[in-house]
Amino acid sequence: MSLMKLKSFKYFFGFLIVLTSTQLKSEDKIDIWKNKNIQKEKDIEVEVQTDESIKKKLIIKPVDSNDQKITIESNSINSKEEDKIFGLYDPEKNDLNLNMWASTSAEDVRASLKRLKKIKLSKTSNEILENVLLSYSFPPKGMSEKEFTGLKVNWLLENNRSDLIENFLKQNENFHNKEKAVQFLVDENIAQANIKKGCEKIKFIGSTIKDSYLEKFKIYCLVIDNKKAQAQLLLDLLREQKKSDKFFDDKINFLLGISDKTSEKTNEKNLLNFYLSSITIKNFKYTPTNNTKKEIWKYLNAANLIKLEDTSDKEKIKDLEVAANSGQVDNELIFNIYKQIEFDLNTLINAKNVYKSLEASDARALIFQKYLIVENVKSKIEYLFLMEELFKKDNLNNIYSKFFSDKLKEIGIKNLPQEYQEVAESKILTDEELTLGKVRYNDKILHQSKILKFYVEEGVNFKKTQKDLDKILKKIIKDRKYFFSAKDLALVDTLIKDGFKIPNNFNYEDLTSKYDVPGNLVELIEKKQNAFVALKIVEIIGEDEPHQLDSETIYFITNLLNEMSLTKIRNKVLISALPQRV
């Protein structure tokens, strides 16, 4: 994260004048985050006037130049309580500010985030949400900083953003739900069943973060690294602080060789306890159920501890299918189980007729085995589509969709019978992160013209872009058959916002009058609820990438972002939505 600069915030202006006149030469740039002359032990206090007309004191704790931690604290004047704000990004980076939620009610923010949870957001939608939600800021009206930080941390956990969680822990101290964040990182490393790698990775947290779950994991890491004396010392300290427990003491004493016996009972309270059970119990066996925690499922899967010794146990197979459908178990395990289910030769020969009389898992297993033994393409494709129906029937689509897509790719659409080609093509999954391709400029269409170079490419000259704009618009305006699309107008709106001159004979107002910008969103902008409008835009873009939206939607999103001067978010939308690509 690039460190926040004090000169970026308007309400620091007065402070800058005083600081500049007393400490620095006039030509020097002030950068409180990188200035090595500022002593770490001195805090900078700045009075801030919030939108609620309440004076607040902003306390910025400088740190060493090679340290990435930023601590921003605020409290009302004459108040003994000290509030803090937590985040990852400098709001200035996305044209926002510390008070971006000041005019938005807590209930509106809660409701918006609740709706967004129900949408499988596209890459662009997620990036916008991430930048807005995780920027340093004061909380919305009626929401405590504790709840606001909890919303941020929960979003990181629910979206499995371990990379961002690491940074959040580095940059923030003593925040609400910190224990959950630490445990998530520890569990993620254990669940990968590569403990040595996990021990190396977890070292980044360092000694500044005190958490009993993390300390226990560090003790175990010292044990497997054969640093037993250090492990014993840390365990003794943990006991003195009354942060250890009987189960953990028992397991570490056994691993250290202090005792030769350990409990044979499997502990499922958390993943660390479960892991310690699995490595210390001789001939460890565990049968997961629907109630088994997802992190335990993940570890069992990674450690190859999920076994099915009895293929006649239909309930066990059903539990594994449900777990695979929810992403807790590899789909490959399910297909391997299907291979193990035995059918006589006559049943296999008459699979198309027999499967209807079998239990659901047996029916899927039979058709899968039949698919494996048939050789001609038409028969294979018929069984693939039949399997799709059987998985859909029991709401197990997630197990089959990728398998189906991969097999269709292997066969090749052109090799399929004609009647299957169109429907098979719709079943092939695209890459999650769509590669847009290289931009192809077309000066016959305004929103695809080389004017876009100003936004797509770095270092493009403003004056040259203006000359290109004059030339292209002059030619297009002369063409009476040319139709100005909503995408064209989105680009023009942006060019005007960025200071480019548009010819007087370009009837911008007339052309845009037929396109409506939602009045409720305009009202929110007038009330200075820019961050909340950004959340609304995330909802509108939703599962799509901007280039998949219709032209009118692209126009009004661009118009709103221009009104709010959210330039960086706007450019992200435009770069996806407007260019022609190859």
Higher pLDDT, 342 or 438: 342
pLDDT at 238: 92
Q: Indicate the DSSP class of residue 342.
A: -
Non-local (6+) Cβ contacts of 52 within 8 A are 102, 141
| Residue 35, pLDDT above cutoff 80 | no
Give the separation between CA 103 and CA 165, rounded to whole angstroms: 28
**What band does 73 get if pLDDT is binned at 50, 70 and 90?**
very low
Residue in the structure block whose two tokens are 């990181």: 156
CA 28 to chain CA centroid, nearest Å: 39
Pairing status of strand 580-581 against strand 44-49: unpaired
pLDDT at 203: 67
| DSSP letter for each residue of 500-568 | ----TTS-HHHHHTTSPPPHHHHHHHHTT-HHHHHHHHHHHHTTS-GGGS-HHHHHHHHHHHHHTT-HH
**What band does 327 get if pLDDT is binned at 50, 70 and 90?**
confident
pLDDT at 425: 84
Query: What does the pLDDT look like over 361-400, one tens digit per residue?
Result: 999 999 999 999 998 999 999 999 999 999 999 999 999 9
- Specify the amino acid at residue 535: L
What's this model's pTM, rounded to 2 decimal places? 0.68
Residue 553 near residue 539, CB atoms below 8 Å: no
pLDDT at 136: 96
Residue in the structure block whose two tokens are 């049943």: 347
Quick one: what percent of the chain has pLDDT higher than 90? 57
| Residue 21, pLDDT above cutoff 80 | no
In this structure, is the dihedral angle defined by the CA atoms of residues 160, 163, 168 and 169, taken in order, positive or negative? positive
Pairing status of strand 83-85 against strand 44-49: unpaired
Query: What does the pLDDT look like over 215-238, one tens digit per residue?
Result: 899 999 999 999 999 999 999 999
Query: What does the pLDDT look like over 261-272, one tens digit per residue?
Result: 999 999 999 999
pLDDT at 53: 37
Average pLDDT of span 117-121: 92
Residue 373 near residue 302, CB atoms below 8 Å: no
**What band does 20 get if pLDDT is binned at 50, 70 and 90?**
very low
Cα–Cα distances (Å) from 75 to 59, 82, 133, in that order, read 8, 5, 22
Residue in the structure block whose two tokens are 């139709």: 483
pLDDT at 31: 38
Average pLDDT of span 90-117: 95
Average pLDDT of span 99-126: 94
| Residue 309, pLDDT above cutoff 90 | no
pLDDT at 436: 59
Cβ atoms within 10 A of the Cβ of 104, count? 24
Q: What is the average pLDDT score of the chain? A: 83
Quick one: what percent of the chain has pLDDT higher than 70? 82
pLDDT at 228: 93
pLDDT at 246: 95
Average pLDDT of span 15-30: 40
| Residue 209, pLDDT above cutoff 70 | no
Average pLDDT of span 88-105: 94
Query: What does the pLDDT look like over 456-498, one tens digit per residue?
Result: 999 999 999 999 999 999 999 999 899 999 999 999 999 999 9
